[in-house]
Structure 1
Amino acid sequence: MATPTATATSYVMYIILRRDLQTKLQWPLGAVCTQAAHAASAAMWIFRNDPNTEIYTSDLDKMHKVTLGVDSEEEIKKVTEKLIARKVDHKVWIEDDIPVCIALKPYPKEEVKNALKGLKLF
């Protein structure tokens, strides 16, 4: 049986964003959204020549992103450690000297689901 050809829709870019930016730290919604945009843009640039990114961006209208949330700086640091341990390519976005968001390079969902296990939608 032939392996299906990878398409843009086969890949997902996961973004992990801190919920407490809006609740505890009282950042405006626009500022919180901007952090996700910064992290995603940076990850796309860093991994621009990666085959996953090339496939993911081959059809810009079919790019798929999923935003997951964590509740604190402590939690985002734990997720970062887990991603490093599992060798998952990502970019941690730092704003005002604190980690606020993580964007993974595009991956097939199956490749990273265990690294993201337990995280809920933002």
Structure 2
Amino acid sequence: MATVAATSYVMYVILRRDLQTKLGWPLGAVCTQAAHAASASMWIFRNDPNTEAYTSNLDSMHKVTLGVDSEEEIKKVADKLTARNVDHKVWIEDGFPVCIALKPYPKEEVKNALKGLKLF
């Protein structure tokens, strides 16, 4: 049985652009939200075979940060991921969703669920 290299897995992070542009959050605070979401997702799915493969070579982890423009958009993305059974963590800060981190997936498995999202 062939094993898939860790580099074939990607962790997608979806972050709200309006945190910085409209709400005036400093860049560091915005970056921290992505770190929170990614860390939480890695912990929640730590025993998943995808996560185990992804972390088998820490120097080869691949992440892609995508962006949405509003709270409404991030909620729609979360609903779409849930409907498609894509494992993820929605990070809530100050009572509202600010970031989503998917567990590591092969790109082909989740590309349709993320269709239309642009890089942050």
TM-score (norm 1): 0.97
Matched, 1:19 2:27: no
Deviation, 1:5, is 2.3
SS in structure 1 of the partner of residue 100 of structure 2: strand
Q: Which runs of 5+ in 2 are unaligned?
A: none
**1:58 matched residue in structure 2:** 56
Number of residue equivalences: 120
Q: Distance in 2 between matches of 1:32 and 1:4?
A: 39
1:78-106 CA-to-partner distances (Å, cap 9, x unmatched) read: 00000000000000000000100000000
- What RMSD, in angstroms, separates the aligned Cα atoms of the two structures? 0.8
Runs of 4+ displaced beyond 2 Å: none
**1:77 matched residue in structure 2:** 75
Identity %: 87
Matched, 1:36 2:5: no
Q: Distance in 1 between matches of 2:3 and 2:101?
A: 25
SS in structure 2 of the partner of residue 61 of structure 1: helix
Q: Distance in 1 between matches of 2:40 and 2:98?
A: 13
